[in-house]
Amino acid sequence: MAEENTTTEQINNTHFNPLDAAETFIEAQKWEFDRLADDQLYLGIEGERGNYKLFLMWDETQNALQLCCEIDLCMPKTRLTEIHKMLANINSQMWLGHFDLSKDNTSECIAPCFRYTSLIREMEYMNCVHFIKDLMKVTLQECERLHDAFHVLDKTNDVSLMNSTINSTETMKLALAQAEGHC
């Protein structure tokens, strides 16, 4: 469907803005997005476990595409030690990308953010569309998979461990445990 809207020139071109390829994929999903600038694209996606804010940024001088996916959670800055411990544990097990924290100095909260940067050189347009599809799939899978672990530290979580400290190995393992089966 999206391939029908691309021109032969785009398909054969290896010098293009990958955000154009991202638009092709996003439009095929019928997701709403904003092209903030020639080098920035934003979209919000509702997942099964949470809401996600995705930012794609293109740096033409380095041929680098960065995808950032912020999980819509509010973890209090007063728990930075525990949050950093959790991030270190999570990132040590990541194969692609990593999690860090949003940078908002005006808020008392911080949110986990998945980041992945890739160099894009001499890639054909449709290959880039498929790359964006795979990149967004991995990103959303990781955010959904780890949402509950981050939610433990969310200040709005009624059943969170807000009154306890996540410093024991057992508590950390419980927060990061993979569920099996269906409820």
Quote the number of domains for the chain.
1
Would you say residue 80 lies in a domain? Answer: yes
Would you say residue 149 lies in a domain? Answer: yes
Q: Which of 118-122, 138-142, 151-155, 160-164 has the lowest mean pLDDT?
A: 160-164
Would you say residue 102 lies in a domain? Answer: yes
Would you say residue 128 lies in a domain? Answer: yes
Report the distance separating Cα 64 and Cα 10, nearest Å: 19
- Mean pLDDT within 155-165: 53
CB-count exposure of residue 48 (10 Å: 0-12, 13-18, 19+): exposed
- Mean pLDDT within 83-112: 90
Q: How confident is the model at residue 90 (pLDDT cuts 50, 70, 90)?
A: very high
For residue range 8-59, what is the model confidence (pLDDT) as tens digits? 555 455 578 999 999 999 999 999 999 999 999 999 999 999 999 999 999 9
Would you say residue 131 lies in a domain? Answer: yes
Q: Residue 77: pLDDT above 70?
A: yes
Model-wide pTM > 0.85: no
Cβ–Cβ < 8 Å for 158, 151: no
Would you say residue 182 lies in a domain? Answer: no
Would you say residue 8 lies in a domain? Answer: yes
Report the distance separating Cα 124 and Cα 121, nearest Å: 9
Quote the domain boundaries for residue 102.
2-176
CATH of the domain at 107: 3.30.1460.70
Would you say residue 183 lies in a domain? Answer: no
